[in-house]
Structure 1
Amino acid sequence: MSERRAAQDAQKKEHGVLYYLGLGLSWGLLAFVVLIAALVILVPAVTRSTPYTILTSSMEPGYPPGTLVIVKPIDVDEIAIGTVITYQLESGKPEVVTHRVTQIIQPNLPDGEKSFVTKGDANSEPDAEPVKPVQIRGAVWYAVPWIGWVNNLVNGDMRAVIIPLIAGLLFLYGGWLIVSNRLEKRRDRRAALAAERDASGPADDVTA
């Protein structure tokens, strides 16, 4: 009987460790998904920012390929040397580049507009043409490593569905772990009570 009880106690301890490990991992993943959802969807929507994916190595090491940069609208007069901006290669066209401002060209005429010389951090030469204000989409506000690849695979409408779906599944998994652990503890208590009743039952008659 003592060996059986010891085996049951060891099994309970093992199940308890696995339960808390699984629960911790599920809640940790849930917190991670919620954080990513906030950084990629919620914050840009509230601040009217736009997420872009870095596709080339021109901005390494700060922004390697796969980095998701959140670009916030900026007033042209706030752009300084060192500001990382995202601009359209041609005004009104979807293709964009994210590079650092290395020089500001002031207008020659009073009613003229300034332009900006940009360069990738990993490039040896500046970009071919100065950037005009009409081309500028904004300045990089913050960046999230690696998430850009996911952003490229999922369009805007699907992104708003998939991340909450993953968070919901992780939440359900955490709930299932809690419920299953309680059910297992209830079964263990019932088994322990049954074992105690068996142990305290009437002893067999002993004859000389």
Structure 2
Amino acid sequence: MAKRIAASLVHAIETLFVIAAVALAVALLLPRLFGYTPYAVLSGSMEPELPVGSMVYVHETDPTALQPGDVVTFYRSDGAVVTHQVYEVDAEARTIGTQGIANKDADGSLVHDAQATPFSGVIGIAAFCIPYLGYAEAFCTTPSGLLAIIAVLALLAVASLLLGKSGSRRAGRRARGCGNDG
């Protein structure tokens, strides 16, 4: 009886793990078929519009078409990927000025990013976001996250094998008339 409960529990955990993996894969891969690239939101500079831990989906756009108020994802001069709001487009200099909507001075006014972003650094415009999905993606792409996933999969596989073997031995004894069904 206890082995049957344990086997059911292991099976339920395996099922949840597979469902979560498929859902994460769909959320990360399916939008790419339609031209959207997902990025995890790692800071609060765009809250509440883009909460920390969200996954923002970015669609490539022509930088000359950007307008103040658009939310764009771009490469900062140090190579970091950032998503901020456009406050200025300088077509002549081929740059955009950006700001995080949560980055404010002591007087409450928005702080502009220190450097203008060249058009060549613009990845695209943020189309939509899914809250909390960025946490899962960020965890799964770290060495410790990958190790944790591999460990859970290994434990589930071992538990399935052990519980499956003991169940099949009992079934074999019953079939031969050797087991005690009581």
Range class of TM-score, shorter chain: 0.5 to 0.7
TM-score by length of 2: 0.61
More helix by share: 1
The offset of 1:23, in angstroms, is 0.8
More strand by share: 2
Q: What is the aligned counterpart of 1:186 among 154, 168, 171? A: 171
Q: What is the aligned counterpart of 2:63 among 70, 76, 92? A: 76
Match for residue 94 of structure 1? 79
85 and 186 in structure 1: CA distance in 2 versus 1, 3 angstrom threshold: same
170 and 139 in structure 1: CA distance in 2 versus 1, 3 angstrom threshold: farther
Secondary structure of 2:45's aligned partner: coil
Mapped contact 1:89–1:135 kept (Cα < 8 A): yes
Q: What is the count of residue pairs matched by the alignment?
A: 169
Q: Is 1:59 aligned to 2:59, yes or no?
A: no
18 and 136 in structure 1: CA distance in 2 versus 1, 3 angstrom threshold: same
Mapped contact 1:68–1:145 kept (Cα < 8 A): yes
The offset of 1:38, in angstroms, is 3.5
Mapped contact 2:10–2:156 kept (Cα < 8 A): no
Work out the CA distance in 2 between the residues paired with 1:170 and 1:70: 34
Secondary structure of 1:121's aligned partner: strand
Q: Is 1:26 aligned to 2:14, yes or no?
A: yes
181 and 140 in structure 1: CA distance in 2 versus 1, 3 angstrom threshold: farther
The offset of 1:53, in angstroms, is 4.2
Q: Is 1:139 aligned to 2:125, yes or no?
A: yes
**Matched AA of 2:24:** I
Work out the CA distance in 1 between the residues paired with 2:170 and 2:61: 58
TM-score by length of 1: 0.55
184 and 20 in structure 1: CA distance in 2 versus 1, 3 angstrom threshold: farther
Structure number with bigger Rg? 1
Mapped contact 2:10–2:160 kept (Cα < 8 A): no
Mapped contact 2:66–2:89 kept (Cα < 8 A): no
Q: Is 1:153 aligned to 2:158, yes or no?
A: no
Mapped contact 1:67–1:146 kept (Cα < 8 A): yes
71 and 166 in structure 1: CA distance in 2 versus 1, 3 angstrom threshold: farther
Secondary structure of 2:103's aligned partner: coil
The offset of 1:37, in angstroms, is 3.0
